[in-house]
Structure 1
Amino acid sequence: MRTRFLAGSALAAAILTSVAGPAYAALTSPEAYAYVVSADAFGGLASVPPTPTSTYPPGGTTTLVGLSAGPFATNDTLTATTAGDPTTGTSSASATVDSLGVDFGPLGSAALTGINSTCNATPNGATGSGTIASGTVTLPFPLPPVTLQANAPANTSVSIPGIGTVVLNEQTTDADGVLSVNAVHFTLLPALNGANLIIGHAECGGAPPAVPIPMINAQVASATGATVLAAGLGIVYLRRRNSGNATTPAAG
């Protein structure tokens, strides 16, 4: 009978878990990460690690005024921001820069403005967007320039002759429900090491809200403790009294 009860309990628990569980493997606490640019090394140009970065926890804003590294150049301020709240299970991230130049060496160059990526997450999932106000890839003559769409739909892919492909407003979600957004993602041709150049990265994931620990009133705790102590002493006294009053059997 006990075996059947345990098996039935396990089945019921499995059913409840499958019904009540989230649609994805939720994080245990909210998280977020953001950076403005990163690049693999290619064509003699050095790699650029994620720059500047912000991570939640603890969150906050990181800025960098001007940049000239690898293929990237700008005089504007690069800003990465993250935030979160464990009590609500939410997080957010953003990455912005007003203008940015990208140098592909003899293969061409790109000019981007109004770069902005955002991500907002709750315990139920995450949403975000990666946008540019304008973008142009200039190629060697006689190839015409390639215009990049402003406010493009998610995962808009464009082929760039001689360079590779670029995805605008790139969005992917992992098994934990963490959404990653790239405003611009260049993937270069194999001849250029298949290098990845990411501009405007924001990622975030929500989690179940933290359960608050109730505070116990000091006076109530003191009174409760005294009551428990008195009850314990009473039990000890009764046991000793009953033991002393026990009737000893007469010797035969």
Structure 2
Amino acid sequence: MRTRTRARVLAGTALAAGILTAVAGPAYAALTSPEANAYVVSADAFGNLASVPPTPTSTYPPGGTSTLVGLTAGPYATDSALTATTAGDPTTGTSSASATVDSLGIDFGALGTATLTGVNATCNATPSGATGNGTIAGGTVTLPFPLPPVTLQANAPANTSVTIPGIGQAILNEQSTDADGVLTVNAVHFTLLPALNGANLIIGHAACGGAPPAAPVPMINAQVASATGATALAAGLGIVYLRRRGSGNAATPAAG
């Protein structure tokens, strides 16, 4: 009876320890390795304006910086450099991403134009989560007369919504996190009206997610490995010699 009671106590203690470990353990993301991606502009087609795929892009792994000097495509026009950068480190489970352009013009056709300056999106991730920010130094949407221009706030709080008459909506510093813990940041996200195909225009995109640190690969000392191998070989040869010797002795008849 005492043995059963003791077993139950030990089982309960183990269960409680497991629960505490689960609660106190690090809140790792669902990713198995860190990842990140970034691009400066993208756009769906609308009106007579062609779509623009994510441009320029960088993805980790392998990471790096992609730069394009000047762009005239779809609704976009700029003489500035567009730069996308990603990086990561599996041993620490971290990653980062950024997308920048100094100035950018946007053409909405007969509905208006927009000018953005100082576009910058960043994202930094660790195994316990990710943080980021999407900012502009300034922005203005110019609409047909007599509509007044719409000012886009600099350094806006996350997910700031701005209604633009006749065009649609702009989300400034748009941020969202998916089920894997990957944070996506868009400095500016225009969603156009259904009459404009509900097109999406994204300027300044950075996304990143962390993961549990990779287990270190054990280092093998070449001298130790060589000595260990030589010892094992000598031992093996010794066993073979002794077996053959014993076998030979058994086959030799005893002297009369």
Give the TM-score range, shorter chain: 0.7 to 0.9
Alpha-carbon shift at residue 245 of structure 1 (Å)? 10
Indicate the residue corresponding to 1:204 in structure 2: 208
Give the distance between the partners of 1:39 and 1:165, measured in 2 at CA: 14
Letter in 2 for 1:95: A
Of the three residues 107, 114, 126, the one matched with 1:103 is 107
Letter in 2 for 1:143: L
Of the three residues 121, 126, 129, the one matched with 1:125 is 129
* 3-state SS of 2:132 partner: strand
Alpha-carbon shift at residue 156 of structure 1 (Å)? 0.5
Give the distance between the partners of 1:71 and 1:186, measured in 2 at CA: 12
Normalised to the residue count of structure 1, the TM-score between the two structures is 0.85
Alpha-carbon shift at residue 207 of structure 1 (Å)? 1.3
Indicate the residue corresponding to 2:7 in structure 1: none
Of the three residues 18, 39, 46, the one matched with 1:42 is 46
Q: Does 1:176 align with 2:189?
A: no
Measured against aligned partners, the alpha-carbon deviations of 1:41-85 in whole angstroms (never above 9, x if no partner) come to 001110000001111111111111111110011111111111111
Q: Does 1:154 align with 2:158?
A: yes
Q: Does 1:88 align with 2:114?
A: no
83-92 or 32-41: which moved more?
Answer: 83-92
Number of residue pairs the alignment of both structures matches: 240
* 3-state SS of 1:210 partner: coil
**2:29–2:127: 8 Å Cα contact kept in structure 1?**
no
**2:38–2:84: 8 Å Cα contact kept in structure 1?**
yes
**1:34–1:53: 8 Å Cα contact kept in structure 2?**
yes
Give the distance between the partners of 1:235 and 1:15, measured in 2 at CA: 52
Alpha-carbon shift at residue 217 of structure 1 (Å)? 1.2
Alpha-carbon shift at residue 218 of structure 1 (Å)? 1.7
Indicate the residue corresponding to 1:57 in structure 2: 61
Normalised to the residue count of structure 2, the TM-score between the two structures is 0.84
Of the three residues 137, 143, 146, the one matched with 1:142 is 146
Indicate the residue corresponding to 1:31 in structure 2: 35
* 3-state SS of 1:141 partner: coil
* 3-state SS of 1:191 partner: helix
Q: Does 1:76 align with 2:80?
A: yes
Structure 1 gap segments, 5+ residues each: 1-7, 247-252
Give the distance between the partners of 1:63 and 1:130, measured in 2 at CA: 19
* 3-state SS of 2:146 partner: coil
Distance 1:148 1:157, change over 3 A: same
Distance 1:69 1:14, change over 3 A: farther
Give the distance between the partners of 1:134 and 1:60, measured in 2 at CA: 28
* 3-state SS of 1:194 partner: coil
Measured against aligned partners, the alpha-carbon deviations of 1:110-152 in whole angstroms (never above 9, x if no partner) come to 1110000011111111111000000011111111111110000
The alignment's C-alpha RMSD in Å is 2.9
Give the distance between the partners of 1:210 and 1:121, measured in 2 at CA: 15
Measured against aligned partners, the alpha-carbon deviations of 1:28-48 in whole angstroms (never above 9, x if no partner) come to 211111100000000111000
Letter in 2 for 1:40: D
Give the distance between the partners of 2:127 and 2:200, measured in 1 at CA: 31
Give the distance between the partners of 1:20 and 1:243, measured in 2 at CA: 63
Give the distance between the partners of 2:47 and 2:127, measured in 1 at CA: 43
193-202 or 212-221: which moved more?
Answer: 212-221
